[in-house]
């Protein structure tokens, strides 16, 4: 089990940082920064340097904020999308709605707001050192999925036989193998990738269910929660690939979560070893 879980972890953690656009923010750069997105079976390129509707938001920023790159005032409230974002207002909701009022804000929108408010950087820059600083101010962004106590079946018994049986069943459960790196999936994500991704998510869900059905001795409660947390986090990380163009910073954050997953996996192995030694399980 350890080998298979760590294979998935290193498939993410071993990848190089996926850069979505050129780090040099010079408008004469021949390789223009851009996002690509499939719309009606067509691959559409949204540039960070081009602003088709001249509203102060680049075409790529419009994609991230949800506004229309061909309409200067998406919500029709007489303020351009660029002016609204610059002043912290939501460009897709008419009136005085703030961006911070959105029920769910993408990590990229949070990051862009942080750049304006804390770094006085108005032009979007997805740079590794800036993301590191951004994440350090919001450590919750690297949190793994939590597992509630009442979501696992725990028996009060701590018999040697039950613990041995639990550990044996754990070692039988496999996770999907043969994955290409997270970076490669994200960088080459297209319409055809959805089928592959959904198949992968289905296999991860089956592994989660296999663990959920185990009879867990009380002494192995934290081990069980650790395994489920890792699998659930994997599911979340790969699900985010569906929104990799609208939320590129989240993909970068997910890459950074790899270290947390490795730490959790190492903790599980330590707890298993302590359990084996305590109950003298051969």
Q: Contact, 20 vs 248, CB < 8 A?
A: yes
Which DSSP string do the residues of 121-134 spell out, in sequence order? --S----HHHHHHH
User: Which among 142, 139, 146 has a CA at the least distance from the CA of 230?
Assistant: 146
Model pLDDT for residues 16-29, shown as the tens digit of each residue: 222 332 232 333 33
3-class DSSP assignment, residue 154: strand
Strand partners, 35: 46
User: Which among 151, 167, 157, 264 has a CA at the least distance from the CA of 218?
Assistant: 157
Query: What's residue 177's pLDDT?
Result: 56
Query: What's residue 42's pLDDT?
Result: 54
Structural tokens at position 160: 């040697």
Cα atoms in the Cβ-side hemisphere of radius 13 Å centred on 35: 24
Query: What's residue 265's pLDDT?
Result: 86
3-class DSSP assignment, residue 98: strand
Q: Which of 17-26, 48-57, 250-259 has the lowest mean pLDDT?
A: 17-26
Query: What is the distance in angstroms between the CA of the first residue and the CA of the last residue of the chain?
Result: 17
pTM: 0.76
3-class DSSP assignment, residue 75: coil
Model pLDDT for residues 183-208, shown as the tens digit of each residue: 777 777 777 778 888 888 888 898 89
58 vs 33: CA distance, rounded Å? 10
Query: What's residue 166's pLDDT?
Result: 94
37 vs 126: CA distance, rounded Å? 18
- Whether 13 has a pLDDT exceeding 50, the answer reads no
Structural tokens at position 282: 């051969």
Model pLDDT for residues 264-275, shown as the tens digit of each residue: 888 998 999 999
Q: Quick one: pLDDT band at residue 43, thresholds 50, 70, 90? A: low
Model pLDDT for residues 162-172, shown as the tens digit of each residue: 999 999 998 88
Q: Which of 86-90, 167-171, 235-239, 256-260 has the lowest mean pLDDT?
A: 256-260
């Amino acid at each position: 089990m350890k080998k298979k879980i760590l294979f998935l972890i290193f498939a993410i953690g071993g990848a190089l940082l996926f850069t979505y656009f050129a780090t040099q923010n010079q408008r004469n750069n021949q390789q223009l920064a851009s996002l690509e997105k499939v719309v009606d079976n067509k691959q559409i390129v949204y540039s960070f340097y081009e602003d088709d509707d001249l509203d102060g938001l680049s075409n790529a920023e419009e994609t991230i904020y949800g506004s229309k790159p061909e309409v200067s005032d998406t919500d029709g409230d007489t303020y351009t999308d660029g002016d609204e974002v610059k002043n912290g207002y939501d460009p897709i909701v008419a009136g005085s709605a703030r961006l911070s009022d959105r029920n769910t804000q993408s990590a990229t929108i949070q990051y862009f707001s942080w750049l304006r408010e804390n770094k006085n950087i108005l032009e979007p820059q997805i740079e590794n050192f800036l993301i590191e600083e951004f994440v350090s101010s919001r450590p919750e962004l690297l949190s793994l999925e939590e597992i509630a106590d009442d979501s696992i079946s725990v028996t009060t018994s701590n018999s040697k036989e039950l613990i041995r049986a639990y550990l044996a069943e754990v070692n039988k459960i496999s996770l999907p193998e043969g994955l290409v790196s997270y970076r490669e999936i994200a960088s080459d994500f297209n319409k055809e990738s959805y089928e592959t991704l959904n198949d992968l998510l289905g296999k991860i869900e089956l592994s989660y269910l296999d663990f959920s059905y185990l009879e867990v001795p009380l002494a192995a409660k934290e081990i069980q929660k650790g395994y489920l947390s890792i699998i659930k986090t994997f599911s979340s990380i790969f699900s985010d690939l569906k929104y990799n163009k609208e939320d590129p910073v989240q993909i970068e954050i997910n890459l950074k979560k790899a270290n947390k997953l490795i730490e959790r996996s190492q903790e599980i192995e330590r707890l298993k070893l302590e359990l084996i030694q305590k109950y003298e399980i051969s």
